[in-house]
Structure 1
Amino acid sequence: MKKLLFIICLVSFMFSCKTRKKIVDKPETTKTQTVVKAEETPIPSVTLKKVYTNDTERYIDAYRAIAQHEMQLYNIPASITLAQGILESGSGNGRLSVEANNHFGIKCHDWIGARIYHDDDKKGECFRKYKDAKYSFRDHSLFLKDRKRYAGLFKLKQSDYKAWAKGLKAAGYATDRKYPQKLISLIERYQLYKYDKEVLGDKYQNVEEAVLPQTYIVVKGDTLYSISKKYNLTVKELQNMNGLTDTALSIGQVLKVEPSNN
C-alpha cells in the first residue's frame, strides 16, 4: 500500500513539473515570434514634395537645365532664354505653350511642321507647334543664331544679360517698348543670371563690376552721324573705334562708343 501511494505521488509530481515547464516556455516562444515579425515588417518611405510659391518658380525649375544646355551649344545666356520663356508663355500657362508647346511665340514663317492659329498682332496668326517643349527651346536658339538681324547679339558677353535684353528689342524680336526692362526685371527678381554663371564657370564676369567699353546697339533710323553726335564723337573716330570702312549699319549691330575726354 505504501508503495502504491509512493508511485502515485511520484507520477503526480512529474506531471506537475511538465505542466509548469510548458507554461513557462510558452511566453518565450511567443516573444521570439513577435520579434521576428517586427523585424520583417518594412518601414514605409516618405517622399517630400517640392513646394513652389508661384508658377514662375515652377517654370524655372522645369526648364533651367534645358536653357543651360542650349547656352552650351549656342552661346545664348540661359538667363535670357528663361526670361523670354517666362514672359512669352505666361510661365507656361499661355495657350500657345499649353496646346502647342510653343514657349517663345515663334510664328510659322517658313515652317513646314505642325501649326496652331492664335490671335496676336493680327487675328488668327500662324504659330509653330512642337511635340515637346524642348523642341521649342531648340528652335528658339536656331531662330536667333541663323538670322542676320540677331548677329550683333553674339558679339556681346554671355554674362551681360542687360545688353542681350536691349539687343533683342533693337533687332526687332518684340514690339513692346518695355520688353528689355521686363526681361531684366525677371532675371534680377529670380536671379536667373546664376544659371549663366554655372555654365561659364571661371569665364563668368560680373557685368556690374567689370570695366567694359561703353557700347550702343543700332536701331532703325540710326546713322553713323547721328550716333557720333550723341556721344560727342566724329564719324571718323566712330569708324576707327569699330573698324568700319564705310557708313553702312545694320539693326542690332553693336558699336563701341566710348565718349571723348575733351
Structure 2
Amino acid sequence: MKKIWKRAATAVAFTGILSAGVMDAHADYKSDFVYTYAGSAQTLANQMNLYPSVMIAQMALESNYGTSGLTQSANNLFGVKGSYGGKSIVLKTQEQKGKKLVTIKDHFRSYPSKWASMVDYTKVMQGSHLSGAWVSNTSNYRQATRALQGVYATDRYYSSKLNAIIAQYGLTRYDTKQAKTTKVSYKVKSTSTSGRITHTVRAGETLSSIAVKYGVPERTIAARSGLANTNHLVAGKRLVIK
C-alpha cells in the first residue's frame, strides 16, 4: 500500500509541476504579446492623440492576446467591423443587448498585416463619437476607457476589463508626456542619388515599430535591407525603407 501511495503522490506532484509549467507558458504568451506590440502602439498612439496604455489593452482584449480567430485569419487586432480595401471576413460575435449576450454574424475588416490593423485603428479612433477617449479631452486613461464602453464595444464591463489589463502589465509607463502631442517627428534620410528612403536604427527600436512608422510591411523592409535576423536590430544599422 505504501508503494502505491508513493507512486500516486509522485504522480500528483509531477502533474502539479506540469500544470504549473502550462500556466507559466499560458502567462508568458500574453506577456510576449503585450510587450511585442507595446512599442509600436506607443508610437502610433502618440501621433494620434490617444493613450498608448488604452490602445495596448484594447489590442490584447479584442484579439485575446493575438490568439482569436479574427486575428489569426484576418490580422484584425481590434475587432473593427466593416471592410478594409474591399476585404472583410464574416464571423460570429457576441453583442450585449441589455443584460443578455446575443450571438450574431457580422463583417469584420480583413487586413494584409497586423501593422495595417494598428494604423487603421488609430484612424477609426479619430471619429467624433470616440472623442471622449482622446488625450486632449481627458485627464487620465480611466476616463478614456469609460468613454469607450457602450460606444466602441457593447460589453458593459469593457472599461473594467481594459483597466485590469493596464494595471496587470503596468501599461501606464507608455503614457508619456509625448502622448499629448498629435505629431511625432522621425529622422528619415533620403539619398539624392537613388531616391531611396532609409532609416538608421536607434537603440531600443524593433522592426515592428519601424514598419509602423513608415507604413511599410516588416517583411518588405527586411528583404530590402538584407536582414537575416529580424528579431534583433543593431543600433546604427541602416535599413532601406523604400
Range of TM-score over shorter length: 0.5 to 0.7
Structure with the higher strand share, 1 or 2 = 2
Contact 1:118 / 1:125 at 8 angstroms: preserved in 2?
yes
Alignment partner of 2:44 out of 60, 70, 77: 70
CA displacement, residues 42-77 of structure 1 (integer Å, 9 cap, x when unaligned) = xxxxxxxxx994222111121111101112210111
Residues 165-244 of structure 1 mapped to structure 2, 5 A cutoff: 165-170=145-150, 172-197=151-176, 199-200=178-179
2:131 pairs with 1:131: no
Which residue identity does 1:177 align to in structure 2?
A: R
Give me the identity figure in percent. 29
TM-score for both structures, normalised by structure 2: 0.56
CA distance in 2 between counterparts of 1:71 and 1:124 reads: 30
- Between Structure 1 and Structure 2, how many residues are aligned? 147
Alignment partner of 2:144 out of 164, 169, 172: 164
Which residue identity does 1:104 align to in structure 2?
A: F
Could you say if the C-alpha distance between residues 200 and 143 of structure 1 is closer, same or farther in structure 2, counting changes exceeding 3 Å? Answer: closer
Pick the structure with greater CA Rg. Answer: 1
Gaps of 5+ in 1: 1-50, 202-262
TM-score for both structures, normalised by structure 1: 0.52
Residues 96-107 of structure 1 mapped to structure 2, 5 A cutoff: 96-107=70-81
2:34 alignment partner in structure 1 = 60
2:89 alignment partner in structure 1 = 116
Alignment partner of 2:65 out of 85, 91, 101: 91
Runs (4+) of structure 1 exceeding 4 A deviation are: 198-201
Contact 2:78 / 2:121 at 8 angstroms: preserved in 1?
yes
Q: Which has the higher contact order (CA 8 A, sep 6+)?
A: 2
Cα displacement (A) at 1:113? 2.5
